[in-house]
């Protein structure tokens, strides 16, 4: 009996070796003493849990968790639509899977001194900001003084982006770095700017600190993946093989508030899938930037202030579909259609939106190792579609082969 | 209490969102406190809680009454998931944390007031019981329970045999059980 109690305790604490765990689990089926031992061990361990110092959870956590009870959006009609059928017919895996790092340039290539210095300064400011919004920071514990003091000393990220993009960029002084500049300024940065401005003001919540933590993390990775010499030691880490699960994306997007400059949107997430999406941080950064671009396009156009994100694996074999959808008016959908199909006129309001989609297109040429955008468009590897009163944006990413379970970076 | 817990679980299994909310109100605080104690990181602890509640809603069959009290199962699951994250983070950071780290982490309590007089009395009781354990049993329990160290690692760290680790863990828990027999979960 003592041995059984010990086994039950070891099992509960997760320290019983795997083979013995399996034997113990088998014993539970028909051995009352084993079951009683397990129940007792669990109760003992549960009571020890209560020795942890009590901490309060914010209301925003309850709101996020209660969203589980919302009915799932049904993607079956979209997955049965003609573009996705076309994708299913046309998609084939490349022999060597793309795992990120493409589109990266040297920051030195930017010979516009203001742009060069501002990008560097923003990166350095974000490096300073990150520990101040981390989960073990004073801000996470409710003391905002250090964070606010730091934010007051930094130029507003929103204002910085506005100042840099108020005039069209001089492409001669940027050269091949144009894509990297756009990715750094227009993917997660607008949302980051929104939340840091809010935290610098009077109306903010703990949820904003959390959101800013994830945005800082994402933005830093995106900038390192865009400019190889902005932080070489951290980029070396980002280039190491390390699986990133769909859960990482779901965790940060779940119940989030998103902003694209002055447009805000509530994010609703599907349950994504259980498994890895990317193999390296640099790949994850590119994937992430694409998702932010889709979110930025939809947030201002949603009829009800919400948009939905979902990641679906194997609806198209060997492929992960990232899908963003929102209820839209016919006019808003027409705008999306023109943006996605390159039909926009050089109107400033839509110019940055067209850039967002261009970033996704260029990423697709790398991900699928195919330079012809028209071919990729024909194959429906990315696109825009309308079903009933909703617009759908998507891009397809090559799945990782032969992985049995999800893992986290 | 057991009946109430089983009722809640059965209602969640039937898709009752009010029961899910009731579950959150009753247990999320204790789960979060435990997870934060282990991880020392608010956002990671929130992620653990978020994941567990998501599983509970999508797969309520993950629990069954055969596994013991619902509340106990929840807290053990919280502990185990938090330990998994802790170990994963430790591997990523590529340096070991000493057994002093748990106690020397910045105290996040000062600004974070939880206001529940009844739970406070019981925790006080529990903490007293914990502190009166023989030091060798307390040490092994802390390393095993809150740090998730496996018994072989504890044995090597403390320079004792595996059998001694097992018996100190068991004896410590038995002593706590006697002190905590009236503790309400």
Q: What is the pLDDT of residue A202?
A: 87
What is chain B's length? 185
Cβ neighbours of residue A249 closer than 8 Å, sequence gap 6 or more: A272, A277, A288, A291, A309, A311
Compute the count of residue pairs across chains A and B with CB atoms less than 8 Å apart: 192
Q: What is the pLDDT of residue B105?
A: 29
Chain B neighbors of A244, CB-CB under 8 A? none
User: Which among A49, A53, A57 has the least Cβ separation from residue B79?
Assistant: A49
Q: What is the pLDDT of residue B176?
A: 84
- Tokens at residue A340, please? 């996605």
- What domains sit in chain A, N to C, each tagged with a CATH number? 2-49 (no CATH), 65-398 (3.30.565.10)
Is the sign of the CA dihedral A400, B54, B56, A326 positive or negative? negative
What is d(CA A148, CA A200) in angstroms, rounded to the nearest whole number?
A: 6
Question: SS3 sequence, B27-82?
Answer: HHHHHHHHHHHHHCCHHHHHHHHHHHHHHHHHCHHHCCHHHCCHHHHHHHHHHHHH
What part of B 67-96 touches A (C-beta under 8 Å)?
67-69, 71-76, 78-80, 83, 88, 92
Average pLDDT value for residue range A254-276: 91
Percent of chain A with pLDDT over 90: 74
What is d(CA A183, CA A119) in angstroms, rounded to the nearest whole number?
A: 12
What is d(CA A147, CA A187) in angstroms, rounded to the nearest whole number?
A: 24
Spatial contact of A259 and A194, defined as CB atoms under 8 Å apart: yes
Q: Which of A37-46, A238-247, A297-306, B95-104 shows the lowest mean pLDDT across its residues? A: B95-104
Q: Do A45 and B75 touch (CB under 8 A)?
A: yes
Q: Edge to edge, what strands does the sheet with A319-327 contain?
A: A257-260, A263-269, A306-313, A319-327, A390-398, A382-387
What is the 8-class DSSP label of residue A136?
T
Q: Do B130 and A12 touch (CB under 8 A)?
A: no
Q: Do A47 and B110 touch (CB under 8 A)?
A: no
Average pLDDT value for residue range A255-267: 92
Instruction: Describe the crossing of helices A32-49 and B70-93 by its angle, rounded to 10 degrees.
Output: 70
- Higher model confidence: residue B121 or residue A16? A16
Q: Mean of the per-residue pLDDT values for chain B?
A: 80
Q: Mean of the per-residue pLDDT values for chain A?
A: 92
Q: What is the pLDDT of residue B99?
A: 31
Between the alpha carbon of residue A344 and those of residues A179, A335, A396, the distances in Å are 19, 8, 23
What is d(CA B179, CA B130) in angstroms, rounded to the nearest whole number?
A: 9
Please give the backbone phi and psi of residue A395, each rounded to the nearest 5 degrees, phi first: -140, 150
What is d(CA A130, CA A150) in angstroms, rounded to the nearest whole number?
A: 11
The 10s digit of each residue's pLDDT in A225-252 is 999 999 999 999 999 999 999 989 998 9
Average pLDDT value for residue range A332-359: 86
SS3 A326: strand
Q: What is the pLDDT of residue B120?
A: 60
What's the ipTM? Answer: 0.91
The 10s digit of each residue's pLDDT in A270-313 is 888 889 999 999 999 999 999 999 999 999 999 999 999 999 99
Spatial contact of A148 and A200, defined as CB atoms under 8 Å apart: yes
Give A407→chain B minimum CA distance, Å.
10
What is d(CA B57, CA B8) in angstroms, rounded to the nearest whole number?
A: 12
Q: What is the pLDDT of residue B146?
A: 87
Average pLDDT value for residue range B25-45: 95
Residue B68 binned pLDDT confidence (cut-offs 50, 70, 90): confident
User: Which among A42, A53, A247 has the least Cβ separation from residue B109?
Assistant: A53
Q: What is the pLDDT of residue A349?
A: 67
What is d(CA B44, CA B50) in angstroms, rounded to the nearest whole number?
A: 10
Angle at A42 between CA A36 and CA A43, to 5 degrees: 90
SS3 A355: helix
Q: Say yes or no: B58 contacts chain A, CB-CB below 8 A.
A: yes
What is the 8-class DSSP label of residue B24?
H
Judged on CB neighbours under 10 Å (0-12, 13-18, 19+), A173 is middle
Residue A142 binned pLDDT confidence (cut-offs 50, 70, 90): very high
Residue A318 binned pLDDT confidence (cut-offs 50, 70, 90): very high
Spatial contact of A366 and A102, defined as CB atoms under 8 Å apart: yes
Q: Say yes or no: B41 contacts chain A, CB-CB below 8 A.
A: yes
Is the sign of the CA dihedral A91, A94, A99, A105 positive or negative? negative
Residue A15 has pLDDT above 90, yes or no: no
CB atoms within 10 A of CB B125: 16
Angle at A234 between CA A119 and CA A124, to 5 degrees: 30
Residue B133 has pLDDT above 60, yes or no: yes
- Tokens at residue A98, please? 């793309």
According to DSSP, the residues that pair with A384 across neighbouring strands are A393
Instruction: Describe the crossing of helices A178-186 and A113-133 by its angle, rounded to 10 degrees.
Output: 40
User: Which among A54, A65, A143 has the least Cβ separation from residue B111?
Assistant: A143
The 10s digit of each residue's pLDDT in A209-224 is 999 999 999 999 999 9
Q: Output the DSSP codes for A301-315.
A: G-SSSEEEEEEEESS
Q: Do A9 and B180 touch (CB under 8 A)?
A: no
**What is the four-CA torsion angle of A70, A75, A78, A83, rounded to 10 degrees?**
130
Nearest by Cα to B19 from B29, B1, B32, B5: B5
- Higher model confidence: residue A342 or residue A124? A124
Nearest by Cα to B79 from B144, B8, B130: B144
Average pLDDT value for residue range A386-409: 81
Q: Do A69 and B145 touch (CB under 8 A)?
A: no
Q: Do A49 and B30 touch (CB under 8 A)?
A: yes
Nearest by Cα to A40 from A83, A6, A65: A6
Q: Say yes or no: B139 contacts chain A, CB-CB below 8 A.
A: no
Average pLDDT value for residue range B45-64: 93
Residue B94 binned pLDDT confidence (cut-offs 50, 70, 90): low
What is the 8-class DSSP label of residue B146?
I
Q: Do B109 and A48 touch (CB under 8 A)?
A: no
- What domains sit in chain B, N to C, each tagged with a CATH number? 1-94 (1.10.1740.10), 116-185 (1.10.10.10)
Chain A neighbors of B20, CB-CB under 8 A? 66, 68-69
What is d(CA B77, CA A348) in angstroms, rounded to the nearest whole number?
A: 53
Chain A neighbors of B57, CB-CB under 8 A? 68-69
């Amino acid at each position: 009996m003592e041995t059984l109690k010990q086994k039950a305790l070891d099992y509960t604490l997760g320290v019983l070796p795997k083979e013995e765990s399996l034997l113990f689990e088998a014993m539970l089926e028909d051995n009352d003493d084993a079951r009683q031992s397990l129940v007792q061990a669990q109760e003992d361990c549960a009571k020890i849990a209560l020795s942890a110092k009590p901490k309060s959870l914010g209301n925003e956590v309850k709101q996020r968790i209660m969203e589980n009870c919302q009915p799932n959006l049904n993607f079956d009609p979209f997955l049965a639509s003609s573009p996705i059928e076309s994708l299913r017919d046309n998609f084939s895996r490349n022999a060597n899977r793309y795992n990120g790092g493409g589109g990266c340039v040297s920051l030195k290539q930017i010979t516009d001194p203001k742009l060069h210095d501002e990008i560097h300064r923003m990166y350095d400011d974000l490096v300073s900001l990150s520990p101040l919004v981390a989960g073990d920071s004073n801000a996470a514990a409710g003391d905002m003084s250090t964070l606010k003091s730091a934010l007051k000393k930094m130029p507003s990220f929103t204002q910085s982006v506005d100042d840099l993009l108020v005039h069209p960029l001089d492409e001669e002084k940027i050269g091949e770095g144009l894509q990297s500049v756009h990715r750094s300024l227009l993917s997660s940065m607008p949302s980051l700017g929104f939340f840091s401005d809010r935290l610098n003001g009077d109306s903010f919540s703990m949820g904003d600190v959390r959101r800013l933590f994830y945005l800082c993390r994402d933005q830093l990775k995106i900038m390192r993946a865009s400019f190889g010499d902005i932080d070489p030691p951290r980029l070396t880490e980002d280039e190491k093989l390390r699986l990133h699960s769909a859960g990482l994306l779901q965790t940060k997007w779940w119940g989030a508030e998103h902003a694209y400059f002055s447009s805000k949107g509530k994010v609703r997430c599907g349950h994504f899938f259980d498994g890895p999406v990317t193999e390296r941080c640099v790949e994850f950064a590119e994937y992430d930037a694409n998702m932010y671009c889709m979110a930025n396009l939809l947030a201002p156009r949603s009829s009800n202030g919400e948009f939905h994100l979902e990641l679906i694996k194997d609806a198209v074999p060997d492929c992960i579909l990232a899908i963003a959808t929102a209820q839209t008016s016919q006019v808003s959908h027409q705008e999306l259609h023109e943006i996605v199909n390159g039909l926009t006129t050089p109107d400033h309001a839509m110019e940055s939106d067209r850039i967002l989609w261009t970033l996704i297109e260029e990423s697709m040429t790398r991900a699928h190792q195919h330079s012809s955008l028209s071919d990729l468009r024909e194959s429906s590897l990315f696109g825009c579609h309308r079903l009933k009163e909703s617009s759908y944006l998507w891009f397809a990413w090559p799945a990782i082969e032969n992985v049995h379970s999800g893992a986290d970076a | 209490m057991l009946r109430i817990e089983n009722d809640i679980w059965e209602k969640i299994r039937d898709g009752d969102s009010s029961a899910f909310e009731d579950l959150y109100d009753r247990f999320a605080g204790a789960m979060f406190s435990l997870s934060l104690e282990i991880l020392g990181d608010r956002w990671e602890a929130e992620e653990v809680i978020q994941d567990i509640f998501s599983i509970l809603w999508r797969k309520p069959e993950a629990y069954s009454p055969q596994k013991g009290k619902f509340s106990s199962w929840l807290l053990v699951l919280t502990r185990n998931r938090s330990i998994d994250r802790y170990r994963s983070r430790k591997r990523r950071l590529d340096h070991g944390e000493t057994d002093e780290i748990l106690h020397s982490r910045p105290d996040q309590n000062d600004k974070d007031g939880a206001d529940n007089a009844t739970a406070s009395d019981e925790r006080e009781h529990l903490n007293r019981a914990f502190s009166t354990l023989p030091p060798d049993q307390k040490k092994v329990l802390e390393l095993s329970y809150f740090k998730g160290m496996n018994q072989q690692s504890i044995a090597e760290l403390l320079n004792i045999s595996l059998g001694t680790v097992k018996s100190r863990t068991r004896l410590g828990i038995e002593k706590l059980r006697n002190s905590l027999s009236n503790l309400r979960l």
